[in-house]
Structure 1
Amino acid sequence: MRFLIAILGVLVVFGLTYAVSNDRKKIRFRPLFVLIVIQVLLAFILLNTSVGEFLIGGFASIFEKLLTYAAEGVNFVFGGLVNQNQMTFFISVLLPIVFISALIGILQYTKILPFIIKYIGLILSKINGMGKLESYNAVASAILGQSEVFISVKKQIGMLPKHRLYTLCASAMSTVSMSIVGAYMTMINPKYVVTALVLNLFGGFIIASILNPYTVSKEEDILEVQEEEKQSFFEMLGEYIMDGFKVAVVVAAMLIGFVALIALINGIFTGIFGISFQVLLGYIFAPFAFVMGVPWKEAVEAGGIMATKMVSNEFVAMLELGKHTAMSARTIGIVSVFLVSFANFSSIGIIAGAVKGLHEKQGNVVARFGLKLLYGATMVSVLSATVAGLFL
């Protein structure tokens, strides 16, 4: 039964994506088949084998160590601040982003990350049939983040046609930046975070190949990565530390606003209709939760969490997921994989703003296809969760 539901889920995702495709005649089915097989194999390895357990354990232990080191700096500044019977979310979850950001800066400065990103991207371009720029951008988005990644390809932003620009933006929304992966791991099981990161990378190519199919000629298939402006080591380090702190503060501000607004809306809906806004959304998203592999009796509950992520962000949804302790382990796993991406309404503004800061005209183009961007990124999350559900 599980396999039949998974097949149904994949067919639903493909059908909904195909229905809004820009050009159905240009869809190439062979790369799609290869990519979906790779997704299934990777999900099996990560979730059902000792090799996957070892890899995820190693990845999680690295971040566990990094968070321990980050705690040294946080405790030096904020030690002694305690909320009785409350989790100090900003201090224990968000502030370590500052340290992780500093490490990413060091790896960038020493040319280690650019080398890894470029050559993994080149290998992926052979598999997915897309251009080198698109493949580079997908890997870079998963490490640098949805705003910073466009800086590395800013030389080409202004020359890209609309369809290629869409794919770059879709990759940025479908993945998450490495600087906040540690924060996710304190909120949901690390194995689901790692699984989602890997599956979303390939899922982004699958959905983009259906929703926005095109071919890149040899003349167009050029990758020009922008070299960062020459800085001293400590200039760079200070910049990345401040960038990390800005991310932590922005996430904190968004959480304050969204959690409070959702509480207000729930109160209004409960008072007028006798049902909360999240439960109402849960009924709308329940069919998607079901085709992802969630048992029907938990589909409304899971759907409400999925909807919370879309209308607010993944942090708010992960906090909400933590409250639903009665849900089965299978449902928690599937929903967790779904939550690990930037597919929400606020990301439209973030990505459009990042592109506009580099090229105003192209930023306006991104804003115009913003809803389609969110639609595609959500399909990526549904696909990843569906494939993961096969092995949970």
Structure 2
Amino acid sequence: MKFFAPQIITGSGVQKERTIQVENGLITSIDFGSAADAINLNGSVIPGFVDIHCHGGGGFDSSVDPRAGEFHLKTGTTTMLASFVSEPINSIVAKLEKLEFARNVIGVHLEGPYISHAHCGAHKAEYLTNPIKSDLEKFVATKKVKHITIAPEIEGALDAIKYLSQNEVLVAIGHSAANSDVVNLAIDNGAKIVTHLYNGMKKDYSDKSTLIGSALHDSNLGLELILDGVHVPLQIIKDIIAAANTRIIGITDAAPFAGQVDGEYLLGELPVQVVDQVARLKTGGALAGSTLTMDKAFATAINLLGINPVDAVQMYCTRPAFYLAAKNVGDIAIGKKANFLVMNDEWQLKQVYFEGELVS
């Protein structure tokens, strides 16, 4: 099958008037000009979004229901991880063994239970624990866990980071009170990114002794960022991007109630109130995930923050795929999966193609 793209935008730049040839779900050629038998995509074509931090959507919990993945596929997320909140270890293992993946889900992200009590956010504190190798071995043995968030200051964390990194699990520093010295030790042991920068940590990003200050100014860590206008104030987002544009990883941190009307819901076992599409715990008022989708975040990056489209593609497609070591997604190039999106002039999503097939 052939597709004519008036404009292709990837993390490497812009190509005009290209015909994309797709066979068996993969891109086999990209040629200048339009073939007579090509489908005209009639818009800007970008790679499918890659979301490495997503708890659900459409009323479905990513940790138990593959329909969460299908919901996000329709909003442009052609590759994602199913994120879990903190639970007892045995419960996590049982869910991992049972969970069936949607076609766009390639693995699991465990946001807990190895996080700080002081910065646990919308995680149930009684389930937080310290990592021990026998539990980590259970996670690795499922071959489903691709990404784990850890507070590096807790007992056993540095050994856990080293073990997981050696077993090809992406480790993020997050929900943490770590100082810069501990952050550096975590990096030395294999930590590669930070979970939702600014959230779940001290917020003084001018202080280089804090997690956020160290990560932003004194490291090469990838930095997850939620662009929903709620989790991080607009001016602070601009400051973060100015300091670390080449390290930003756009995520949703979407909860199961993303795409649903305002009301009362659960995130894990915790009651949540959604008002004006902002989700907070009913007790304490902490933010409880987001109602964001990747297409909305991408449009916000360009239209509200003034990020150029190539950089936005790096944030939402290329860079998350790189950190996941997902080599066949995140780009429009020969040999990659034919996962691409068609956007209009306002950067709103028009069409989603997954492995060369239009997603209805």
TM range (shorter): under 0.3
Q: TM-score, normalising length from structure 1?
A: 0.23
Report the structure, 1 or 2, having the larger helix content.
Answer: 1
- The structure whose RCO (Cα within 8 Å, separation 6+) is larger is 1
